Structure 1
């Protein structure tokens, strides 16, 4: 059984080819956060993979055997409707909930100064993921900002994930995401580089598109606790 931990996705090069230091720093935080989550998993084969594009993530997922994935953790920048992976400036090659959300995000991020915000051919919809490869009691955690933000029109990213995995007949699977901005400073100013972890602040747990639980619990939310809430 496999536990996938995808981390990174932030652009590390400027348009002129120079190093983008802030992108490298953000990806470093995602990497160490992934290591800390992996350390809390006591079973399964843990595969930590640096994010490239949504297309690559979907491809890696699709090649797995049915019922073989115990969990999926994604550490990247996020919005209520997308995971923002980027290789080129002002272009998203990540995951998005659907066509309407893509148009809204394109409008929101485009400006006279920066130009049109685009989605590359390597971006993917959540529905492109093969959810049949997940086990029946799978855990999906999205560690980026606002992916479970409440009172939004249409499905948020966490709602969409939870509906899609339920449609795939994984009747005890659930999805966890942040209701607000997330950050890696789990211990505030005392957080070390190796101690970075996004599992703090307000998070929501969704099951089949519906809110199951909201919590400010720090660190690991026990799988058994959430299974006890699923009827």
Structure 2
């Protein structure tokens, strides 16, 4: 009888150990499933980070040349200011310096090294009226070119040079911003040549509430202010912004 009881006790103990073993195996299997799921999530996150890193690298490669160009422009502007200061007492050197300013609009301008002489702007030629938009309520197609300015204002080159020198800080602020092929100073010369009507047309054309932008409107208003200072007229009641 004692042998049977001992055997039953041993079997009971074995059953308990097997049950405990099965529970531990279930825990381990569940842990493996959880780890595999976490690993899959980590792999997905790693792939996402890899894609973002590639985008950041591509963006950085696009920005580096732009930064290099801006640094070169800043250095050239600094050198121009230093040369401008050094040449203040020598008109011939100043004229040469003015004539070396690149025409950002892309038109090749011949250097002018004669003494700066500013005439009052002449009236635009009669055929200029043909280029004005017929519908005064829509100025989207209105444009001004450097050739138009020169036809209306024979001394436009000299005025341009003087305004660049006189408003160098404003010129530097907008030197990378060109609208319809004209920079800040060419717009000022255009307003000198064509007057208030051209300013109003451009203001409507590039107003931020229409098809323009804040930056474009600032450039137009700054050019108008420069033109009025040049003409000795401080009346700016028509400033759009």
TM-score tier after normalising by the smaller chain length: under 0.3
Higher relative contact order (CA 8 A, sep 6+): 1
Q: Name whichever structure is richer in helix by fraction.
A: 2
Q: Name whichever structure is richer in strand by fraction.
A: 1
Task: Mark the structure with the bigger radius of gyration.
Answer: 2
TM-score by length of 2: 0.23
TM-score by length of 1: 0.23
